[in-house]
A and B are shown apart, each in its own frame.
Chain A
C-alpha cells in the first residue's frame, strides 16, 4: 500500500484537468488522474494505494470526474486534514471514502508509515491509531447499498 502525499487546496482542476472532461469512462479518467500536479501518479498508482493531503482537498469545480478518476485508479481512501464540501459528498455518493482526520493527515504528511485505514474511519499511521470524523449514519447506509443511486433504487426514494 503506497501513500501519495500532497499539500493544501488540491483542486479538482489538477485532479482531473478539464481538457479530459469530454470523456467519462473510468479508464480514460484514470489515465490522467492528478496529471497537472503529479504527472507520474497515473503510472505509479496501484489498486489499494492511498492519497493523503492537507486542508480543503478537492476544492473548486463540482466535477464528479475527480473522485471517479481517483476511484478508477484503484484508490479507495483519501485521508485529508479537511475536504471541500462538494468533493466530500461526491466521494461518498460514489463509494470513494474520504477520511477527515487532521491528526492522521499531519502525521502521514510528516512521513509516518500508513499501516491500515478502514471505512469506519480507523487509521493506523506510525505507532498511533487515529479515528477520522464520523460519516453520518444515512450516508454510511448509502455506501453499504453501493452508492446513492443504488440506494435510491433499492429504497424507492432518497
Chain B
C-alpha cells in the first residue's frame, strides 16, 4: 500500500501542516492564532449591521462535545476508506495467487 513515492507525498502533507505551527510557535488562541478563519467572516458581516435571522436548531453544548462529533465524522469516513482498500488489497493478493498457480500448472503440463 505504501511505496517510496507515497511516503514522499505523505511527508509533504505533514510538512505543510506543521510549518504554520513552527512559524507561530508559542502563539495560541489568546493571541488570536489558529482560532479559525471562521469567526473573521462572521464578524465582517456583523460589522455591516446585519443581524442573523435564524440560528442553529441545535449546537454542541461544549467544545468537548463538538470535538467528539468531529472525531466521529472523521472516524466514519476513515473506516469506510480502510474497509474498501483492505478489501481491494485482499482481492489483488488472491488474484495474484491464482495467476501464479495457473502459470505453474501451465508450465507443468508442458
* Chains A and B bind each other: no
B residues contacting A by CB (< 8 A) are none
